[in-house]
Chain A
Amino acid sequence: MSEHPTTYVPKSAFGKWFESRLPIAGLIHSSFIAFPVPRNLTYFWTFGAILVFMLVSQIVTGVFLAMYYTPNATMAFQSVEHIMRDVNYGWLIRYLHANGASMFFVAVYVHIFRNFYYGSYKAPREVLYILGVIIFLLMMATAFMGYVLPWGQMSFWGATVITNLFSAIPVVGDTIVSYLWGGYSVGNPTLNRFFSLHYLLPFMIAGVVILHIWALHVPGQNNPTGIPIKSGKDAVPFTPYATIKDIFAVVVFMLFFAWWVFYIPNYLGHADNYIPANPAVTPAHIVPEWYFLPFYAILRAIPDKLGGVIAMISAILIWCFMPWLDTSKVRSTAYRPLYKQFFWLFVVVCVVLGWLGSRPAEGWYVIASQICTVYYFAHFLIVLPVLGFVERPLPLPNSILESVMGVQKGGAGIPAGANAEPHSKG
């Protein structure tokens, strides 16, 4: 996945024969073994590996669930209960899948905010970053449709509320909604097509993930200083250094995951979803899953339906413009004392929006949502462009190595016996 020629030399005769026909071993070698990794990466850089693990975990558990699940409005709820009660370890697979969705979002939010903090979205990583935004949008679509499949009350009414949003689109809105529904209301055809798409989208995510990793291997990884690798001493080879760190981080994340799955498997769900879908009874409050709440709050902050939908979609699409909205020449927030404060304020606003999304849309909750929504967009449209001009950043270190030496004396650079000579990248 890297454009530089590989140093990989096949040892066996078969290896040479194969490599000259399909140089996949060399590709893996240059991408995941010899690939130079900044030596000062923190654990925030392990979330890429954690996300790959979560994607694989979701696909594997999902494939097994699909062997027992029945996408039919009269049988879906029962088939989920069949999995929970009668299928051997069905409860485990289903709880892994349901909680896995939340864990996937926990990891992706850490990954996204790490990118915001260290300016990873800036040149030359714009395409890499925008591919990440596309993955996030696909994840949202997949998670939403997955939540509909158990066909409980919140599945049904969540689907009704969200699909109805498309009717706000002028002229073609109603047509789009009837295509989504496959009829004149949420029903069996809706469930069928959501199941089909829920099975399809993860493989599209996997495809975009490959592009995302490819785009990562061209400029290389960003790092806490935000300055590029300048010499071999700034980097270590991916294997074993990043590999072992990633594996350790994935296992620690599995511990966190296990806590939810085995001890509080229904904490992140809604009790209403253990009631079979009933089009005649509306739940008291229709609330999306926690990972959608900030966007749900933005949707409801705007009194106009179309305006709310536009605001909600813009709240994510605006991320795509960050590389150009941010005018600062310094990548890492570590060297931006003023922006650091705005960054944490932005984090707080996002958390508060999430909380407001779980509240009923009434009274001062609405006003608070409106204030937070205005600030959310101001962060991108005002803070990011203006700070680049008015802020005086701290001096940057000359190199990653110099920065590292400041943290710990006596670093040794690349050892003579390391697997491969890391390539220095500008």
Chain B
Amino acid sequence: MMKRTLLIAAAVLGLSAPAFAAGETPVPPQQKWSFQGPFGTFDRAQLQRGFKVYREVCASCHGLSYVAFRNLAEEGGPEFSEAQVKALAAEYQITDGPNEAGDMFQRPGRPADRFPSPFPNENAAAAANGGKAPPDLSLMAKARTYERGFPWFITDMFRQYSENGADYLVALLNGYQEPPAGFRVPEGGHYNHYYPGHVIAMPKPLSDGQVEYPKNEAGQPQAPETVDQYARDVTAFLTWTAEPHLEARKRLGFQVILFLLVLSGLLYFTKKKVWARVGGEVEGHATPPMTHNP
């Protein structure tokens, strides 16, 4: 009984329940993701669509400065071809230098370059966006979350729920709506149902039909060209940019756990055999007959 209680105590102690501006901010609905669970992998087509949304919509204000063009061709990501990435990189102008004359110069991007940011520095970004610089998106899917609360933060450990950030981003991108009666949105702000405090500086970024998706054989877009679908796709892409080795991590994890399970089984029986020499393992204590006093 004590063992079990201690286990539970250890599990409860494992609470980190990150606290956030909770207030009356609603809880984002949980989405189904291809990358959730122990065998999760990214959907390549979804990452490629998500990249298109980022590039055509988000990139005008938000940087992606930890991601290099070459990453787009690497295993476990959108897996564009090397040629595609080379052509894509060449569309960007990168500031390089200084050259032999001591001048900075512009040159076409190469796969090894990182995505150039839309603004030269944070102050310029803030000045162009009403005083608040749009954050870099590389880590956005890990840098945002929402409060899970008791008892969900305990069950999350067992069901490996770690898509808090992704679920929040989808909710946020879908969360632009008319403010409820009596809610005054300040100048330069926008009402968002899921943003903590509801007033977000970013105007509604997505609208239906805004980004053209690749067509399938029937000439139809491979996914609906709707705000909801755009939100999911760009969030999947941002989950990959935040955690580019997610697939390798889960794959290796399964191998490690399988190995450790077999090893612990072998060790268990070895231990049993060793202890059999002294009549088997005997643990703990017993209460002896009540005849003897300490």
The chain A residues found within 8 Å of chain B, CB to CB, are 39-43, 78, 81, 84-85, 91-92, 95, 102, 106, 109-110, 113, 117, 223-225, 236, 240-241, 244-245, 247-248, 251-252, 254-255, 258-259, 261-272, 274-275, 284-285, 287, 289-291, 293, 329-330, 332, 334-335, 344, 347, 350-351, 354-355, 358-360, 393-398, 402-408, 410-415, 417-418
Contact = CB atoms under 8 A, between A and B. Distances in A.
Given A40-B283, A259-B257, A284 B278 contact: no
Given A264-B157, A395-B291, A418 B277 contact: yes
Contacts of A291: 13
B257 A258 contact: yes
Contacts of A272: 18, 143
Nearest to B140: A274
Query: Which of A102, A225, A404, A410 has the most C-beta atoms of chain B within 10 angstroms of its own C-beta?
Result: A404
Query: Which of A95, A393, A412 has the most C-beta atoms of chain B within 10 angstroms of its own C-beta?
Result: A412
Contact of A40 (B13, B18, B285, B293): B285
Contacts of B165: 271
B218 interface: no
Contacts of B257: 255, 258-259, 262
B267 A106 contact: no
Interface string B149-168: 01000001100111011000
A275 to B, nearest CB: 5
B98 to A, nearest CB: 21
Given A236-B278, A271-B18, 11 more contacts: A40-B284, A261-B253, A264-B161, A267-B16, A268-B14, A274-B142, A287-B16, A293-B15, A329-B294, A393-B294, A403-B285
Contacts of B71: 85
A407 B283 contact: yes
Contacts of B183: none
Contact of B160 (A255, A263, A275, A414): A263
A351 B257 CA distance: 29
Contacts of A42: 283-284
Interface in B15-35: 15-21
Given A262-B250, A266-B162, A351-B12, A403 B267 contact: no
A388 to B, nearest CB: 13
A285 B17 CA distance: 12
Contacts of B160: 263-264
Q: Interface SS of chain B: helix, strand, loop or mixed?
A: loop
Interface stretch (B42-50, B207-215, B225-233, B258-266): B258-266
Contacts of A406: 286-288
Interface in B135-190: 135, 138-139, 142-145, 150, 156-157, 160-162, 164-165
Interface in B246-294: 248-250, 252-254, 256-257, 260-261, 263-264, 267-268, 270-271, 274-275, 277-294
B106 interface: no
A109 B271 contact: no
B38 interface: yes
A398 B267 contact: no
Interface of B: 2-3, 5-6, 9-10, 12-21, 38, 66, 71, 135, 138-139, 142-145, 150, 156-157, 160-162, 164-165, 196, 242, 244-245, 248-250, 252-254, 256-257, 260-261, 263-264, 267-268, 270-271, 274-275, 277-294
Contacts of B10: 106, 109-110
A193 to B, nearest CB: 27
Given A109-B13, A271-B18, A355-B15, A397 B278 contact: no
A414 B98 CA distance: 78
B139 A274 contact: yes
A267 B278 contact: no
Contacts of B13: 106, 109, 290-291, 350-351, 354
A238 B120 CA distance: 65
Contact of B242 (A252, A274, A293): A274
Given A109-B13, A396-B294, A415 B274 contact: no
B16 A404 contact: no
Contacts, number: 222
A231 B156 CA distance: 49
B24 to A, nearest CB: 14
Q: Interface SS of chain A: helix, strand, loop or mixed?
A: helix
B282 A39 contact: yes
Contacts of B284: 40, 42, 224, 334, 407
Given A258-B253, A415-B277, A398 B292 contact: yes
A150 B135 CA distance: 18
Given A274-B142, A396-B292, A404 B282 contact: yes
Contacts of A330: 294
Contact of A358 (B19, B283, B287): B19
A330 B279 CA distance: 28
A241 B274 contact: yes
Nearest to B284: A224
A354 B153 CA distance: 14
A85 B283 contact: no
Nearest to A244: B271
Nearest to B255: A262
A350 B6 CA distance: 12
Contacts of B250: 262-263
B292 to A, nearest CB: 5
Contacts of A355: 12, 15, 17, 150
Contact of B285 (A95, A245, A271, A332): A332
A407 B29 CA distance: 52
A358 B9 CA distance: 16
Contact of A414 (B19, B270, B278): B278
B162 A267 contact: yes
A236 to B, nearest CB: 6
Given A92-B252, A274-B143, A274-B242, A413 B278 contact: yes
B293 A395 contact: yes
A359 B245 CA distance: 33
